[in-house]
Amino acid sequence: MSAAGNLNAKINLRHASVLLVESNQHAVDTLAQIMTGLGVGEVHRAMSAEEADNIVRNKSVDLIIIEPSLRDSDGFAFIKELRLSRREPACSVPVIIISSLVHPSDVSRARDTGANFVVAKPITPNILIQRVLWIGRDKRPFVDVGHYVGPDRRFKVEGPPPNMNGRRSTDVDSRLGDASAPNMSQNEIDGFIRPQRVSLD
């Protein structure tokens, strides 16, 4: 099974406009090739937060894919400023962060800037299309609490969607295997859940 799930499902990105922000020309070109291949109609490229900001202010953008460790600027700060600008529709555009070093502190920082997803490099078409599809299914509301604007950060990690393979070492297969032990008897179940009186001597 592909990480992207149902391979026969249709995806229509012909009218989508995507902003790609990477640290160097080759990386942004590679990303553009992937997105164009996936059927994205319009691709904008930037290599600094300033260029990205200029594009967001002057063009219609439906998705931002950004490497936060830019050579001359800070991608995290760009996302946070975009969210806090409260300029609709740009402030609520979906943002995917792609990063080569994903420490827990980086993920926390990405979450607190208002990114929708954080994806560890290397990036492949399969991974990107999967995240785009996840954005389409993401039911999280946005919250505005003054210093934070972005997807609600309070959600339960439920692993990858059914029939998709996770990339994390802690992801488990959603398919149930055969039972490895006999079923519990009713007495065992009752003993498991029934409150018991305990006497302390």
Partner 1 sequence: MRTFRPATRLVRIMAEPGGISVAQALKQADHALESTREGCLAEIDLKVEQVVELAAAGLSETKLAAIRQRAGEIFGEAGAAGLTELSAAAHSLSRLLSAGFGSPAAIAVHVDAVRALRRPELSGDQAARAEVLRQLRNVVDRLQAA
Residue ranges that bind partner 1, judged by CB under 8 A: 2, 4-16, 23-24, 26-27, 29-30, 33-39, 60, 62-63, 67, 69, 71, 88-89, 92-94, 98, 100-101, 103, 121-126, 128-129, 132-133, 135-136, 141-145, 152
Residues 20 and 43: beta-carbon distance below 8 Å: yes
Query: Shortest gap between Cβ of 12 and partner 1 (angstroms)?
Result: 3
Q: Which residue number, 77 or 189, has a Cβ lying nearer to partner 1?
A: 77
Q: Which residue number, 169 or 183, has a Cβ lying nearer to partner 1?
A: 169
Query: Shortest gap between Cβ of 200 and partner 1 (angstroms)?
Result: 46
Query: Shortest gap between Cβ of 160 and partner 1 (angstroms)?
Result: 16
Query: Shortest gap between Cβ of 132 and partner 1 (angstroms)?
Result: 8
Residues 52 and 90: beta-carbon distance below 8 Å: no
Query: Shortest gap between Cβ of 29 and partner 1 (angstroms)?
Result: 7
Query: Shortest gap between Cβ of 179 and partner 1 (angstroms)?
Result: 33
CA angle 191, 196, 201 (to 5 degrees): 130
CA angle 68, 62, 140 (to 5 degrees): 80
Residues 17 and 42: beta-carbon distance below 8 Å: yes
Residues 85 and 93: beta-carbon distance below 8 Å: no
Q: Which residue number, 161 or 191, has a Cβ lying nearer to partner 1?
A: 161
Residues 29 and 37: beta-carbon distance below 8 Å: no
Q: Which residue number, 168 or 189, has a Cβ lying nearer to partner 1?
A: 168
* Bond preceding residue 68 cis, omega within 30 of 0: no
Q: Which residue number, 52 or 123, has a Cβ lying nearer to partner 1?
A: 123
Q: Which residue number, 15 or 194, has a Cβ lying nearer to partner 1?
A: 15
* Bond preceding residue 122 cis, omega within 30 of 0: yes
Sheet containing strand 42-46, strands side by side: 42-46, 17-21, 63-66, 95-99, 117-120
Going 160 to 165 to 171 to 173, the CA torsion angle's sign is positive
